[in-house]
Structure formats: structure tokens, C-alpha cells
Amino acid sequence: MKYGYVRQVNQVLLDKYNNGKKLTFMDYYAFQLTSFGLSLFREHLLFNDRVSISQAFMIRCIIEDLAVIRMYDEKDIPEELSELLRGYQFICEYKMYKRHECLDGKIFDLEEMEKNYNDVKDFYYQKFGTELSSKEFKSIVNSKLPFLMENYSFHKLISMYRPELLDIYQYLSIIVHPSELVTNYCYFEIDSLESVMKNIFEEISNIIEKYYPNIVVDIKFQWENECSICFGNGESYSELVKVYKPQLDFLRKICNQIHKNLKLPDDKVCLPEIFFSRLFDELESILLDRAFGLSEIIKCKIKPIFEFFAVFYYTLSLDESSEKLILMEAYTSINFLKILNEDVSDLIKQVYPIYKNAINKDIEFDKFEALIIKKSMPEFLGIKDINAFVFNMIDGLIINVLWQRDTFRMLYEESQALSHGNGYVLASNDGAFMDSKAACDAIDVLILSLIDMYNKIVQKSNSNKMKYDIGKFFLEYQKIHYAKKLKELEIQKTMKKY
């Protein structure tokens, strides 16, 4: 990827938005594409021996962007739809924040949001709603891409405009959504994404040069200069990077100790080891985005990270003999194998009686089969949806002091709004989206709570060595958590607000 050029265009578009200039349809999507692309490129360049869940999430978002941009290239999106896209933020925000009325007047003004929402809805209706029934109009307004004036799914758009990316898109959808963690890890092939990323980086550069030619690149936006500001010469790191180092060192140590205590062979892994290992990757990913100033991307990553936490929480909540553990593993394996075009019919039949015994004794086989291959894992397990799955984790770990639970729920829903190729990322730089600190603080609190939960489970085990080591690690992490918060307060006055 032509890093300096892409980085400069990203800044040009942000400045254009902040200065109140009129944006084109392509401006919204180019900003989103460059933000996602820059985050993905930096992480890949610095840590090319692994792919985090956040990276998989970024690739998936970029594929959605590329499908819409191809639709635009082929003149299937008229430029006048830019007006509808500009109003989309008010539809998105009202639908999201009205579910958190207890925060009205504290974090946002719901009355103003409702007025903006109704104004935009009227504008949409004048543009295309007069030819639709009220039911059809409502369906489009509530869709993921209402400004396209049809109720498109991203799967359909990718099938139509980027069919060569559909298989990898479906594969990434399993990776980034809730699934059994060890099975997910075993099916997560880094090599399968290498060529995809290479092609994506090249395509991003080509698109940006096509739509924004003759941009002069400021030397400060070249990769070498930005990297030196954040990481120095490899020995003298920026203060922001230093503050995360004890946290990352801790995760390395606890992974090694768990593996050692359980006396696992080098080629074997266990759930806690997978969790802390992947958590290391996710925190490192967040660190890079903070260091390079991509606040909107940090908010995006809340969604896959919270869902990752929710799976660990749910798994820890189950008894070791629970049949739901078997169902989680089966669900994940079946969906991966289906993407690989493997026959899963026998495996589905084997799981059916287990499901009837553990979840729903009256379910018919056809409904069970549809559930396991068409619904999310939480729905398969009898939970309403992924939102409820995450909210259960938040409610179980967080004491609701000063609306903290509601704030965490809101952070997750804000992230959902940013997690698709909807052009919303640029508009989202307003208000709360500009501050990534709340997102990072929420992640830190949940990590501390999950380590506490894991420690309490270990303390009931028969291994004195394990009880001692994990208990010690929990106390160590408490110190790291609070020392990190104090250090961040010290440097907050001298660092740029990300």
C-alpha cells in the first residue's frame, strides 16, 4: 500500500469534514476505507507473523466497503444519494441511543436526536418513500444501508459486485462472531489471509489514487516518520506505548504459566491459554491505533473484542461437564467445514440428540438444522441474539454504579454502528466517537473482571500450584491495572487527544 498517499488522503477527508465542507458519496467511503486500511496495514507490517481477530474484522469491513465502491463505480449509485448518506448518521444515532434513555441528558440529548431523526426520515420519504407502502418504507429506513433506497444485505451486495470475495467474507464472519474459542483458533489459518491482505492493500491504493489524484504528501505522514514518533528507535518508546508494556508482558507470562502448570505438549492448547494469547494480540492492536491516532477504529474494535470476552465469560460460567460445551464446539466446526464445502450432514445428526437434551427437547430436526447453519452461536444456544449474549456478560461482570453497565452497553452498540461498510465512520468522528479513552477503559475493566472470575474458578480446583500461580497473577494484574490508569492520567496533559 502507498502508505503516505493513503494517510494524506485520510487526513484531507477528515479536515474537509471538520471544516464543514460538502462531502461526496465517495468521500464518506474513502475515509472509511483508508481508516480501516491504515489500521490493518500498520499491524500487518509490524506483526506479520500473526493475524488478530481485530485484523480479521478489519478485512471483513473492507470487503463490504469494496462491494459498495464497486457498485458506485458501475454507476449503480447515483451521486444524489450522497444527500441520503449525509442524513444516515441521524437515523443510526437515534435508533442506537433511544435504547439507553437513562443516559439522556448525561451523555447525549435524545430530544435533539429525535428531531434530527424525524427530519431525516421526512427527507428520505420525500426522496423515495412516496412510491412505497409504509411497511416497505419502514423496512428500508431500518436496513443497514437505507441510503441505497433498497433493503440490501452486505452478503447480497458482495455476491453481486465482489463475488470473488464472498467465500473469504463468510469465513471471516465465523472468525469474528461468537464461536467456541479453541475450535475457532484451530480453524484460523493465517496463510489464507495473506494474499487477501496483499490484494486489499493494492486495491485501496488504486482506488484512492483514482478518486484523489495529485495529492501532495506531507513528509510527516510517511510511514517512517509516523512510526518513529510512536516507537522511537526501538529502545526509546513513546510514553503511550510504554504505559501498555506491563500489561502485554503480563499476558505473555500468564500464557506460559498456564501451559506449564497444565503440562501441555507444545502442540496442545487450552481455553485460558487461547484467551490470554489472543487478548495479547487484541491489546497490541488497540495500542497501535491509539498510538497512531485512529480513535474511530478503536471504537470499531469494541464489537469483536466484547464478543470475544462474552464467549470466554459464557464458557467459564458453564460446568466442565455441560453438554453446551460440546454444542459450542460442534456449532463452530460445522460452520467452518460448511465454508470449506465439506459434508456436515452426519455431524449435524450426531449433535441433534445432544441439543435436544441440553437446550430444546421438542425441536424438530429441520428447525435444528436451520438453527445451526443460519443463526449465530448465541441464538443456537437459546439466547435471544448476540446483543443479549454480550449484555449478559456486562451485567454479570459490571457493578451498575453511575450507569456503568448502560455505558458499556452503549459502547458496544456504538461499535456495531461502525462495524460495517456503511460510510458512517467519517460522521462518527463527532462527539463521543472522537474519544477512544472510554473504550480502552471499558476493555481494561472487563479484562480485570474476567481474570478475577477465572481466578475464583481456579481456586476451587485441586491443584495447589495452579491456585497459587493464578492467585498471584490476579494480584499482579490488579497492580498493573491501577498503575496504568495513574500513568495515563500523568501523561494525558502532554499527549494529543486520540
Out of 77-86, 197-206, 356-365, 421-430, pick the least confident. Answer: 421-430
Place of cell 452486505: 154
pLDDT tens-digit series, residues 442-463: 999 999 999 999 999 999 887 8
- pLDDT for 497 equals 39
Question: Which is more confident, 84 or 303?
Answer: 303
Measure the CA–CA gap between 188 and 228, rounded to whole angstroms.
32
Count CA atoms within 13 Å of residue 298 on its CB side: 26
Rounded CA separation 315/317 (Å): 5
| Closest to 26 (Cα-Cα) out of 68, 88, 58 | 68
| Mean pLDDT for all residues in the chain | 88
- The amino acid present at 257, given as its one-letter code, is Q
Annotate 162-213 with three-state secondary structure: CHHHHHHHHHHHHHHCCCCHHHHHHHCCCHHHHHHHHHHHHHHHHHHHHHCC
**pLDDT tens-digit series, residues 134-149:** 888 888 888 888 888 8
Q: What backbone phi and psi angles, to 5 degrees, belong to 104?
A: -65, 130
Look at residue 321 and tell me whether its pLDDT is greater than 80.
yes
Q: Longest Cα pair distance anywhere in the chain, in angstroms?
A: 71
Domain boundaries, the chain: 3-211
More confident residue, 129 or 399: 399
Question: How far apart (Å, rounded) are the C-alpha atoms in residues 328 and 244?
Answer: 33
Which of 258, 308, 314, 261 has the alpha carbon at shortest distance from 283?
308
C-alpha–C-alpha distance, residues 370 and 375, integer Å: 8
Residues ≥6 apart with Cβ < 8 Å to 365: 352
Q: Quick one: which of 390, 370, 368, 386 has its CA closest to 378?
A: 386
pLDDT band at 418 (very low <50, low <70, confident <90, very high): confident
Q: Rounded CA gap, 46 and 48, in Å?
A: 6
pLDDT, tens only, 232-259 = 654 445 666 677 788 889 999 999 899 8
Identify whether the C-beta of residue 451 lies closer than 8 Å to the C-beta of residue 251.
no
State how far the Cα of 428 lies from the Cα of 297, in Å rounded to an integer.
10
Residue-wise over 207-218: b if at least 16 C-beta within 10 A, else e?
bbeebbeeeeee
Instruction: Establish how many alpha carbons lie within 13 A of residue 432's alpha carbon, considering only the half-sphere containing its beta carbon.
Output: 20
Give the span between the Cα atoms of 200 and 194, in whole angstroms: 10
pTM for the whole thing? Answer: 0.93
SS3 readout for 373-437: HHCCHHHHCCCCCHHHHHHHHHHHHCCCCCCHHHHHHHHHHHHHHHCCCCCHHHHCCCHHHHCCH
Query: Rounded distance, CA 290 to CA 241, Å?
Result: 9
Cross-strand partners of 104: 108
Q: Using one digit for the tens of pLDDT, what is the confidence trace for 182-209?
A: 999 888 877 778 889 999 999 999 999 9
Q: What is the mean pLDDT of residues 336-362?
A: 95
Q: What cell was used for 62? A: 473492507
Asked if 144 and 154 touch (Cβ cutoff 8 Å), the reply is yes
Match 412505497 to its residue by C-alpha cell.
132
Average pLDDT estimate for 395-400? 90
Which grid cell sits at 101? 434513555
> pLDDT for 207-232, tens place per residue?
999 999 999 999 999 988 888 777 66
* Cα–Cα separations (whole angstroms), residue 98 to 106, 124, 373, 383: 13, 20, 32, 23
Q: Looking at the predicted structure, is the pLDDT value of residue 302 above 80?
A: yes
Q: Give mean pLDDT, residues 1-19.
A: 93
